[in-house]
Amino acid sequence: MSTHLPSRAGDSPASPNAPALTSFVPVAADSHFPIQNLPFGIFSTESRAPRAGVAIGDCIVDLQILAEAGLICAADAAVFKQSSLNAFISQGRATTSAVRQQVSELLRHNNPVLRDNTSLRQQAIVPMSEATMHLPVAVGGFSDFMLSREHSLNCVDILGGGSGAGKLWPNWTYLPMAYNGRASSVVVGGTPVKRPWGQVVTPGESAPRYQPSQKLDFELEAAVVIGAGNALGTTIAIDNTEKHAFGVVLLNDWSTRDIQAWEAQPLGVFVSKGHRTSISPWIVTFDALEPFRIEGPEQSPPPLPYLDQQGLRNFDVHMQASIKPKDADAASVVCRSNLKHLYWSFAQQIAHHACTGCNLQPGDLLGTGTVSTSGPGGQGCLYEATRNGQQHIDLEQGGTRVYLEDGDEVELTAWAQGPGHRIGFGACTGTVLPADA
Check if the beta carbon of residue 420 is closer than 8 Å to that of residue 338: no
Helix (H), strand (E), coil (C) string for 24-80: CCCCCCCCCCCCCCCCEEEEECCCCCCEEEEEECCEEEEHHHHHHCCCCCCCCHHHH
DSSP readout, 327-385? T-SS-EEEEEEEGGG-SS-HHHHHHHHTTT-----TT-EEE------SSTT--SSHHHH
Report, in angstroms and rounded to the nearest whole number, the Rg of the chain calculated over CA atoms. Answer: 22
- The C-alpha atoms of residue 143 and residue 364 are separated, in whole angstroms, by 8
Q: Quick check: helix, strand or coil at residue 328?
A: coil
Please say whether the beta carbons of 220 and 337 come within 8 A.
yes
* CB contact set of 32 (below 8 Å; sequence gap of 6+): 55, 413, 415, 422, 423, 424, 425, 426
Quote the CA–CA distance of 177 and 151 in Å, as a whole number: 13
Task: Compute the Cα dihedral for 383, 384, 388, 389 and give only its sign.
Answer: negative
User: DSSP assignment, residue 388?
Assistant: T
Task: Find out whether 241 and 351 touch, Cβ atoms under 8 Å.
Answer: yes
Question: Which amino acid is located at 124 in the chain?
Answer: A
β-bridge mates for residue 89, sequence order: none
Let me know the angle formed at the C-alpha of 31 by 333 and 193, rounded to the nearest 5 degrees.
45
Short-list 213, 186, 209, CA closest to 197: 213
Please tell me which residue in 4, 32, 109, 151 is annotated as part of the active site: 151
Residue of 47, 57, 82 lying closest to 67 (CA atoms): 82
Burial code of 380-401, b = ≥16 C-beta within 10 A, e = fewer?
bbbbbbbebeeeebebeeeeeb
Which ranges of 108-211 would DSSP assign to H, the alpha helix? 112-115, 118-124, 149-156
Residue 347 in contact with residue 406, Cβ under 8 Å? no
Q: Is 421 a catalytic residue?
A: no
**129 burial level (CB within 10 Å; 0-12, 13-18, 19+):** exposed
Q: Which amino acid belongs to residue 85?
A: L
3-state class (DSSP) for residue 17: coil
User: Which residues are known catalytic residues?
Assistant: 151
